[in-house]
Amino acid sequence: MNADQIEADTVSSQTDETPIRQVDRRDWAALAASLDASGHALLPGVLSPAQCEALARGYDDEALYRSRVVMARHGFGRGEYRYFRYPLPSPLHELREAFYPHLARIAQGWNEKLGQDLEYPPTLQGFLDRCHAAGQTRPTPLLLRYRAGDYNCLHQDLYGEHVFPLQLAILLSEPGRDFEGGEFVLTEQRPRMQSRVEVVPLRQGDAVVFAVNQRPVRGARGYYRVTMRHGVSRLRAGERHTLGVIFHDAT
């Protein structure tokens, strides 16, 4: 399958809503509150089952990707993933553009709480121009594939000096039907305290937005930083695909 076929599958399965409209009409005040409180937010039904299946089927279409990573070779876990090449296929490109301005506003609020003097351009292209000028030119959105026994170690997706502090993962498979186990987990490491873990219950097509690296938490004397990591618990059976949407590009 090539990018055009994914697009055709996608369009035929869509309602009349563009990805931008469906992202814009979310309750962003509630999502921002959830991100502020826990470092993540769940968005049900960002992709339709047909869109999920078209993207997952595209895993084997090598023309769509710039590279493939076998996780066990790097100590990242077990399973594999592929980084898309530019131009990103539809609806991935549209989703990345549609989410960016909403997440940039939330990220800006986090910077202010942490006393960080850093502003994000209002559009994804503006932010990518900044990455590209710093030599971060390679696209980071990726498609992951796990089979029985596979897992993804706790990690952070940092790829250079410029980091957009929020990212998105969309589950393309249906738990219980397509796979067992394989839960998306987040950990939160607080200064001088033990780490906390959270399991995010995703269904097919659901997205989780989460902190790439650090987020502000209110303490007795202003805000402090907690460090977040994410990963996937071991798959017990079946096959699981995820679409990862990272906003900064890589060196």
Ligand X SMILES: O=C(O)CCC(=O)C(=O)O
Instruction: Tell me whether residue 154 or residue 223 sits nearer to ligand X (CB atom).
Output: 154
Report how far residue 52's alpha carbon sits from residue 177's, in angstroms, rounded to the nearest whole number. 14
Helix (H, G, I), strand (E, B) or coil at 199: strand
In the complex, what is the shortest distance from the CB of residue 99 to Fe ion, in angstroms, rounded to a whole number? 16
- At 10, is the secondary structure helix, strand, or coil? helix
Residue with smaller CB distance to ligand X, 112 or 198: 198
Is the separation of the CB atoms in 89 and 6 below 8 Å? yes
- Residue from the set 9, 80, 150, 157 that interacts with Fe ion by CB under 5 A: 157
Torsion angles phi and psi, residue 106, rounded to 5:
-65, -45
**CB nearer to Fe ion: pick between 22 and 164:** 164
Beta-bridge partners for 186: 198, 230
The binder of ligand X chosen from 144, 186, 207, 211 (CB under 6 A): 144
Among 157, 178, 206, 249, binds ligand X (CB under 6 A): 157
In this chain, which stretch among 20-28, 156-164, 206-214, 235-243 interacts with Fe ion, using CB under 5 A? 156-164
Output the residue with the shortest Cβ distance to ligand X: 244
- Measured CA to CA, the distance from residue 192 to residue 187 in angstroms comes to 15
Residue 152 in the binding site for ligand X (CB under 6 A): yes
Please provide the DSSP assignment of 87-138 as one string: SPPTTHHHHHHHHHHHHHHHHHHHHHHTT------SSHHHHHHHHHHTT--B
DSSP letter for each residue of 147-189: ETT-EEEEE----SS---SEEEEEE-S-BTTTEEE--EEEEEE
115 is written with which tokens? 């006393």
- Quick one: 96 or 230, whose CB is closer to ligand X? 230
**Does 232 participate in binding ligand X (rule CB under 6 A)?**
yes
How far is the C-alpha of 153 from the C-alpha of 171, rounded, in Å?
Answer: 17
CB-wise, 159 or 224, nearer to ligand X? 159
* Residue 188 interacts with ligand X (CB under 6 A): yes or no: no
Q: Point out which span in 68-76, 107-115, 129-137, 149-157 binds Fe ion (CB under 5 A).
A: 149-157
Closest approach of ligand X to the CB of residue 63, in Å: 22
Q: Considering CB distances under 5 to 8 angstroms, the limit depending on partner class, which of ligand X, Fe ion, none binds residue 31?
A: none
Q: Which does 162 bind (CB under 5 to 8 A by kind): Fe ion, ligand X, none?
A: none
- Count of residues near Fe ion by CB under 5 A: 1
Contacting positions for Fe ion (CB under 5 A)? 157
Q: Which residues bind ligand X (CB under 6 A)?
A: 144, 152, 157, 169, 184, 230, 232, 242, 244
